[in-house]
Structure 1
Amino acid sequence: MTDTPPPPSPAIRTLVIDTATAACSIALIEGGAILAAAHREVGRGHAEQLLPMIAELPDGGRAAHILVDVGPGSFTGLRVGIAAARGLALGWGADVHGYSSLSLIAAAAFAAGQVHDIAVMLEGGHGEVFMQAFAPGPMPLDALASRTPDAAIDALAGRHPVGNGVRWLQQVAPDLVGTPALPNAADALLLPIPLATLPPRPLYGRAPDAKLPGGKLPAAGTVA
């Protein structure tokens, strides 16, 4: 297994794992269709729930390709999902790729009827939100950033806000209209190939509070 295998054929069975946020979400996809899926808002405890959820899928979720949410999101949640994806890929001899939680939410929003540019935002640490703008496609319009609610409101530039970070902005601007959302693994079908072939390593919107061995902190906005 390598970190950058070639993109899989749509006909190949794919297991999708998403534990980057409060949701624990999985899907088994083949031939452009969802064979089975599960989505739970668990808050915490992804490590205890993820593998039993996968085991309940057809064939125990076994697939030739694994797709995992690499962030941004919860430091612990990201590690749980990516570790599971890498471990299963090693055991099954499968390929593994990653995707961004923000691009998945964007893809779902456009599929649900959004026709204009949007700003996707997820709750981050220390009262900030992870934020990135997208055009229909979805196509990223800027780089991932972690912003305070005030700075996020200034950066909206008229775009419709989508994601669970909307509620943090509404604490500052109560009249702000947005669409709350969390990543759902079943929406991975909507991702274009360039957004579904990231390396399976955490993508951080800011330096995490938890330290890696040796006391090192990954740089914000990079993969570790």
Structure 2
Amino acid sequence: MRTLVIETSTAACSVALIEAGAVIASAHEVVGRGHAERLIPMIAELPDGGRAGRILVDCGPGSFTGVRVGIAAARGLAFGWDAEVRGFASLPLVAAAAFTSRPDLSDLAVVLEGGHGEVFMQSFEANPLRATGPFASLRPEAALAALAGRPAFGNGIRHLAPLDPALDLTERLPDAAHAILLADDLTALPARPIYGRAPDAKPKALA
């Protein structure tokens, strides 16, 4: 079955078509906050307009707006194409790509921008890829302590670099094409947002 992958959880916007165990087309752009403007045109530029029997969408954690844009598009296309839609998380996506690029590593951490000066962080082991704990939204100083010297990958590493220049840090943005590296159990989430931190606006207490 052909699969369309949608990834919009960071400043990057990417899409990919996967079929018969191979990526047959993909696109990746750094758009900042322009996901709503670029996502559908990027899908339309894929073979057959990106039409697929299954859609995988990144549910976060990451950009609040970006994640919601991606999920809304996935749900809309799934309805129009009568396709199934499932989700995956941004952190294991980056971890899978990182382990592929650095096969010498047995463990690492993914650190993504979390907003308000915080980062989303989670640690992983390889072979098979698995998280060694839940993800957390942390201040950079707390993330540095939790890192415990492990190599770190992601777009949140810029917050850690000034704290310890000796760290093994690699800038990396999620890429939809790397979803091919994820095992089935990592691509079976419900297509709804994974929020990494509590909302800023608090509901008023009842009188």
Which of the five TM-score ranges fits, normalised by the shorter chain? over 0.9
CA distance in 2, matches of 1:22, 1:66: 21
**What RMSD in Å do the two structures reach over aligned CA positions?**
1.4
Structure 2 contact 61–90 (Cα < 8 Å) conserved: yes
Match 1:79 to one of 68, 76, 89: 68
The 5-angstrom pairing of residues 168-179 of structure 1 reads: 168-179=159-170
The 5-angstrom pairing of residues 58-137 of structure 1 reads: 58-114=47-103, 115-136=105-126, 137=128
Identity fraction in percent: 64
Moved runs in structure 1, 4+ residues, more than 6 A? Answer: none
Structure 1 contact 75–208 (Cα < 8 Å) conserved: no
Using the TM superposition, give the Cα deviation of residue 105 of structure 1 relative to its aligned residue in structure 2, in angstroms.
0.3
Structure 1 contact 124–130 (Cα < 8 Å) conserved: yes
Structure 1 contact 130–205 (Cα < 8 Å) conserved: yes
For each residue in 1:62-94, what CA deviation from the matched residue of structure 2 results, as whole angstroms up to 9, or x when unmatched?
000000000000000000000000000011000
CA distance in 2, matches of 1:77, 1:174: 31
CA distance in 1, matches of 2:112, 2:65: 15
Residue segments in structure 2 that go unaligned for 5+ positions in a row: none
Aligned partner of residue 59 in structure 2, secondary structure:
strand
Using the TM superposition, give the Cα deviation of residue 207 of structure 1 relative to its aligned residue in structure 2, in angstroms.
1.6
Residue segments in structure 1 that go unaligned for 5+ positions in a row: 1-11, 217-224
Match of 1:49 in 2: 38
CA distance in 2, matches of 1:165, 1:179: 10
Aligned AA (2:186): L
CA distance in 2, matches of 1:210, 1:111: 39
1:17 pairs with 2:6: yes
Aligned partner of residue 169 in structure 2, secondary structure:
coil
Using the TM superposition, give the Cα deviation of residue 34 of structure 1 relative to its aligned residue in structure 2, in angstroms.
1.0
Match of 1:220 in 2: none
CA distance in 1, matches of 2:201, 2:17: 31
CA distance in 2, matches of 1:138, 1:180: 20
Cα gap change, 1:89 to 1:23, in 2 (>3 Å):
same
For each residue in 1:125-150, what CA deviation from the matched residue of structure 2 results, as whole angstroms up to 9, or x when unmatched?
11110000000031010001000110
Aligned partner of residue 88 in structure 1, secondary structure:
helix
For each residue in 1:181-218, what CA deviation from the matched residue of structure 2 results, as whole angstroms up to 9, or x when unmatched?
0100000000011111111000111123478xxx59xx
Structure 1 contact 15–65 (Cα < 8 Å) conserved: yes
Match of 2:172 in 1: 181
Using the TM superposition, give the Cα deviation of residue 172 of structure 1 relative to its aligned residue in structure 2, in angstroms.
2.3
